[in-house]
C-alpha cells in the first residue's frame, strides 16, 4: 500500500498508526502547493480533493479522509487493538472522538496557518480552539489516552493535530493533561519512527 503524505500534516496520523500496527507502507510525498507527487506527478489525478492523506490499496483503489484511513489500517491488524471491534459501543466512542478532532480541532487550526489572517479573526479562532481543547483536557484527566489506558487511532490523530500548536503559536500551557499526553505520545517508538521518516525529528 502507498500512503500519500506531507511532512507534519494530518497524514502523520495514519503514518503513526501503520507503525503501531506493523504495516509496511510505501511513502509518497505530496507537495500541497503544486499538487504534485515526487514520484508520480499530478496528485489531483490520485485524489481530486487535493489534500492528504490518501491511501492506495494493493488493488489500486484510493481511500481518502484521515479518520477513515486510520480505522481501515487498525482493522487490518485487529490483534493490535488500535480500534475497538466494529459494532461495539467502544467503537462508536472512538468514532465520536475522531469526529470531534476532525471538525472541532483540525478545521479550527486550518485558518491559523495563514500569514494574512486578520488579528481579530486569529484571536477569535484561538479562543474557539481553547474552548474545544477544554473538553479534551477533561477527558484526559486521570487517563493515559482518550479512551482510557490503551493507545488508539484517536490518540494518533489528536497527537498529529496538536503538534501544530507551536507552529501557529497556540499556547498549550492551560492544558497540563494535554501537554503530558503529547509528551507521552511523542516518546512512543512508533511515533518516533513516523516522525523520523517524515524528517520531523533527527
Same-domain check for residues 184 and 94:
yes
The chain-wide mean pLDDT, for the chain, equals 97
Q: pLDDT tens across 19-68, in order?
A: 999 999 999 999 999 999 987 789 999 999 999 999 999 999 999 999 99
Same-domain check for residues 6 and 29:
yes
What pLDDT shows up at residue 14?
A: 98
Residue 184 domain-assigned (yes or no): yes
Same-domain check for residues 71 and 95:
no
Same-domain check for residues 34 and 98:
no
- Following DSSP, what letter does each residue of the chain receive, concatenated? -EEEE-TTSTTHHHHHHHHHHT---EEEEEETTTTEETTTEEGGGT-TT--S-EEE-TTS-EEE-HHHHHHHHHHH-GGG-SSPPTTSHHHHHHHHHHHHIIIIIIHHHGGGG-TT--HHHHHHHHHHHHHHHHHHHHHTTT-SBTTBSS--HHHHHHHHHHTTTTTTT---TT-HHHHHHHHHHHTSHHHHHHHHHTTS--
Q: Say if residue 4's pLDDT is above 90.
A: yes
Region 93-122: mean pLDDT is: 97
Q: pLDDT tens across 90-104, in order?
A: 999 999 999 999 999
pTM of the entire predicted model:
0.97
What's the number of domains the chain is made of? 2
What pLDDT shows up at residue 38?
A: 82
Same-domain check for residues 61 and 124:
no
Of 28, 36, 24, 33, nearest in space to 11 by CA: 28
Residue 202 domain-assigned (yes or no): no
What pLDDT shows up at residue 179?
A: 98
Per the structure, the complete domain to which residue 65 belongs is given by 2-80+190-197
Region 132-159: mean pLDDT is: 97
Amino acid at each position: 500500500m502507498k500512503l500519500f503524505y506531507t511532512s507534519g500534516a494530518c497524514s502523520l496520523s495514519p503514518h503513526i498508526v501503520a507503525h503501531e500496527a506493523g504495516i509496511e507502507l510505501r511513502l509518497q510525498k505530496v507537495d500541497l502547493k503544486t499538487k504534485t507527487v515526487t514520484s508520480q506527478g499530478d496528485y489531483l489525478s490520485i485524489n481530486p480533493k487535493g489534500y492528504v492523506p490518501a491511501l492506495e490499496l494493493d488493488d489500486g483503489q484510493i481511500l481518502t479522509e484521515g479518520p477513515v484511513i486510520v480505522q481501515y489500517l487498525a482493522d487490518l491488524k485487529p490483534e493490535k487493538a488500535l480500534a475497538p471491534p466494529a459494532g461495539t459501543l467502544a467503537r462508536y466512542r472512538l468514532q465520536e472522538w475522531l469526529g470531534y478532532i476532525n471538525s472541532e480541532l483540525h478545521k479550527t487550526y486550518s485558518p491559523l496557518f495563514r500569514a494574512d489572517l486578520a488579528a481579530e479573526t486569529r484571536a477569535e479562532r484561538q479562543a474557539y480552539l481553547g474552548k474545544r481543547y477544554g473538553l479534551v483536557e477533561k477527558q484526559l484527566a486521570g487517563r493515559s489516552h482518550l479512551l482510557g489506558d490503551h493507545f488508539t487511532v484517536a490518540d494518533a490523530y489528536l497527537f498529529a493535530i496538536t503538534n501544530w500548536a507551536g507552529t501557529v503559536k497556540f499556547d498549550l500551557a492551560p492544558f497540563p493533561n494535554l501537554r503530558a499526553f503529547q509528551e507521552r505520545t511523542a516518546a512512543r517508538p512508533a511515533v518516533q519512527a513516523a516522525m523520523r521518516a517524515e524528517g520531523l525529528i533527527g
